[in-house]
Each structure stands twice: as structure tokens, then as C-alpha cells.
A and B are shown apart, each in its own frame.
Chain A
């Protein structure tokens, strides 16, 4: 090997291979067309086990916080709704609540109920999407197909109420833009009953089916409550270790103080606990929607507010499907905000995800990373370098998925 070849290439340098030359490094990500959030993880392996993970995010950072400082208050609401393609409504809800706190106006009671119905429909749809993806990465494609067909029921309801499947654009300051269509009550209640049955059925599958048991039981590094709290975990990632962390319960917004419900917590501490937790939450959400539809109060749905927001600062937090989201707004008393800060649940959950991966095998990486629900799937281009033999190869996400399935069920690949 001559000197020219020994010189590290730019690609190796950016991958951090120089830093960790004695261990194997698997760069993970970052771009995948099907993703909302490309993320890049440097996985440092010793043999088959992961010893350290280094995150690098920001590939789709569009500078929304800077853009918000140049747009009127109302435009920002619909801009922040575009933050996520799954939990879009809750962003506009949380930003709206933060701004409403600066004004003197109150949200009408009917609007609060409609907000709750949309937010819970969104939670069911997000959780179902995630359960389907777990089935896909675990090698149980039938579950993926079934769950995503059930997700269509929720999307149809959302479309019937708001006119859109994904970006509902339902929120306005101090109210909602559209009323509930008339004669929808029976349909929603019947669909929610069906959804509850399906969630119970999937729950049974998770607990008994061989593929799901092998891929999820005792998978994922166990994290105790103390660690989860120190790492500022939110949402399901806090509840699955037994912490009662749920904004809907601890600081009720919208109509959550009027609708009876209880949050779900688990304490097994593996990936299967997350599956059980999210499926149980679907049942809780379905019951809440049925109750809210039956008890929907009469009255106005919106109060018009002036475009100038009084000076001051305010923060608001809401429970998105993935956990707590947080908005901070600061007004100088004009038509344009001085500062808007938004923090999404995935950013808060990345430190605990890194902890969850430690000590796991490369074959479990797709399942464990999907388990935190980070909108993650950016595995379509992974390159591997074995530093002992200097052998380098590239796997697509599909190849990694097959590797994981083969690791657990080698007999399926024997002819």
C-alpha cells in the first residue's frame, strides 16, 4: 500500500473513522425519501454489540424559528403545523395556546372539545402507523398490512371532519376553523368501537405471535426511572419505565380536564412494553373520542382576535403522540413575534434512544430505533467498514432488515 492510499479519504474523515480506528463503525443514515426526519447515527461496534452511538441531526432543519420572526402571528400557526407530517395538529394547537396565553381571550368550550377529538384521532393514527412499522422491521409483514388498513378508518374520519387527511389546518387563535359536520356522531362512535376491537386483537397478537415475541421481548437496553428522568425522556418513552409523565393528565389543556381517562404506564422496560403501551393508549383515546362526541357542548367555535398580540412571553406544552412538545413565544407587541421556540419530542427522546441501543446487537438496531418512534427509517444507505480487514461494503435498509430477520429465524432462509 503506498502513501497515497493510506491517506484517509474525505468520506472516512466525515464518518469519524479516524477518531474510532480500533473499533468498527457503522454510519447510519441520513437521507431517506420516505422519511420526515432524516437522522444520522454513528454506531460504534465491538463485534456484534453496540458500545456507543453518536447522533447528528439537522438534515432537514429549515430554519422555522428564524422564519417565524418574519411572518405574522397567524401565518406562523399554519407554518408550524408543517413541522411534522403525522402529528401536525398538535403543533398548531401548542403554538396557538402559547399565543392565546398572551391575549385576554378565552377559547369557547365547544372548540376545546373539537380540539380534543382531532388531537386524539391524530394519536390513534400515529400509534397505528408506528405499530405497522414495527411489524415491518420485525419481519411480520401481515401485521403491517392489517394495521395500515385500519389506519385508513381514522384518516377517513379526519378527512370527513377537517377536509384533509394529514395537515388538518383546523386550528385558529381562540377556536377552530371548522365545526363538526352534522350527523357524524354515530359514525364516529361505531368506528371507535371497531378500533377498540382491533387494538385488543393486535394486543393479543403481540403477546402470542412467535415473530413478534422473538424480536421484541427483552430487546432494548433496560433503563431505570432515574435515568429516564435525567435524560429528560418524554411521552411513551417515560411512561414505559413507569413514570406518570403525560401532559394531558398533569397539566390538562383543551378539554382534557372534562373528559375522564387514565394514562397507561408499564414497567417491563423492553420494546414489547412499548408495543403494549401504545396499543393500550389507542383504546384509551378511542374511549375519549366517543365520550367527547357524545358530550359535545353547543355554542360558538371561535372568537376573533386582533392581529396584534400584546407584549410579553409565554410558554405552552402539549402531549403529542410521541411525547411532550413545548413552545415558547415572546412578543414585542407587534404583528410579528420576536421569538418562537419549538421543541419536538424526538429531540427530547434522542438521549434515551442512545441509551437504549447500548449493548444491543446490530440485528436489533432497526427494531430498537423504530421503538422510540423517531420517524426513523433512514437506513436505506448504510456503509460498513471492518477495520481489521479493511473490507468495506454497503447495505441497503432492506438488506439490513433481512439480516435482522435471518439472525433470529435462520430456518426461514434454508431451502
Chain B
């Protein structure tokens, strides 16, 4: 079962001009262009019956922001990674394919500032406080320092 799943993902990745890299037993990483991400995920859902999206992880990759979708079926984990430039962090939402992804996308929007086009709740805050200053950088970027954020929010006395 897992052999065929891996083989099919490798074949499909080759068709979409990308590569499936086996990380270790039971884990595969596929890097997909932002333009092809929805086609690739709908293929995973419909043709490979990979139904369970565990979560979406945001990553600070320096120049780019990585967005990793973790699909799990049995003992196989497929990490589908796409990246968007930090200067224009706009990605396509997959809420129309997987409605359960809505909160995960909101979380990445709060923490990394990525805007997901097509997510109806993307402008609502999920995790950050309502009065989070709009000009503060998103907190999980490597350039955001907790000390600076504390100072900005007037919390530096609380730390001592």
C-alpha cells in the first residue's frame, strides 16, 4: 500500500515538474510552485484519497516564507511545501478543497503575515490580540525579536 502511494506521488510530482524527496521511512517532501498548489492538492485528495490534513506549518526561509501542508494517511506523511516571497506574501487558499483548513490558514496569517486569497475569514484575527499594532512585524518571523515586541506593547516592565 505505502509503496504504491509513494510511487504514485513520485510519478505525479514528476508530471508537475517537481520532485518527491523521501526524507526517511514514511516521510516524503514535495516542493510545489505556488501557482500549481491547488491542482496538486486536489489531485492528492481525489486521485490518491489522502483525506487527512494534519495541519499547515509556516516557515521563515530567509528571503521566502514556506508553507507546508502535512497530509497523513496511515504510516505515510506527505509534506507538500510551497513558498511565497516575503515582499509579497500572498498565497492561494485551499478552504474550498478542505474546509477544515480555515483555522490553520488564519493562524499562518496571524503569525507570518501570509494572506490567503479565497479564505473568507482571513481578515479576522484568530490568535493575536485585537489591539496588535498593524505596523508590527508578524511575531514568528526570525526578524521579530520578543524584546522589541514587549517594548512596543509596553510590557517591558512586566519582564523584570
Contacts and interface: CB of A to CB of B under 8 A. Distances in A.
Interface of chain B, helix or strand or loop or mixed? Answer: mixed
B51 A317 contact: no
Contact of B139 (A66, A314, A347): A66
Contact of B101 (A56, A70, A232, A328): A232
A328 B27 CA distance: 12
Interface string B54-79: 11011110000000101010110101
Contacts of A351: 99-100, 102-103
Contacts of A61: 127-128
A63 B147 CA distance: 13
Contact of B125 (A56, A70, A317): A56
Contacts, number: 94
Contacts of B27: 314-315
Interface of chain A, helix or strand or loop or mixed? Answer: mixed
A232 B52 contact: yes
Contacts of A58: 110, 125-129
A38 B70 CA distance: 27
A313 B139 contact: no
Contacts of B5: none
Contacts of B79: 313, 315
Contacts of A101: 24
B52 A251 contact: no
B130 interface: yes
Given A233-B100, A348-B100, A351-B100, A250 B57 contact: no
B59 A330 contact: yes
Interface in A240-257: 245, 250-251
A362 to B, nearest CB: 24
A325 to B, nearest CB: 9
A230 interface: yes
A229 B51 contact: yes
A330 B110 CA distance: 21
Nearest to B73: A250
A402 to B, nearest CB: 32
B24 A63 contact: no
B156 to A, nearest CB: 16
A84 interface: no
A348 B102 CA distance: 10
Interface string B118-136: 0001001111111000000
Given A101-B24, A347-B107, 12 more contacts: A54-B121, A58-B110, A66-B139, A231-B100, A232-B100, A314-B27, A315-B54, A317-B54, A328-B55, A343-B55, A351-B99, A351-B100
Interface of A: 14, 54-58, 61, 63, 65-66, 69-70, 101, 229-233, 245, 250-251, 312-315, 317, 324, 326, 328, 330, 339, 341, 343, 347-348, 350-352
Interface of B: 23-24, 26-27, 29, 51-55, 57-60, 68, 70, 72, 74-75, 77, 79, 98-104, 107, 110-111, 121, 124-130, 139-140, 142, 146
9 contacts: A63-B139, A229-B51, A232-B53, A312-B23, A315-B54, A324-B54, A339-B57, A339-B60, A341-B57
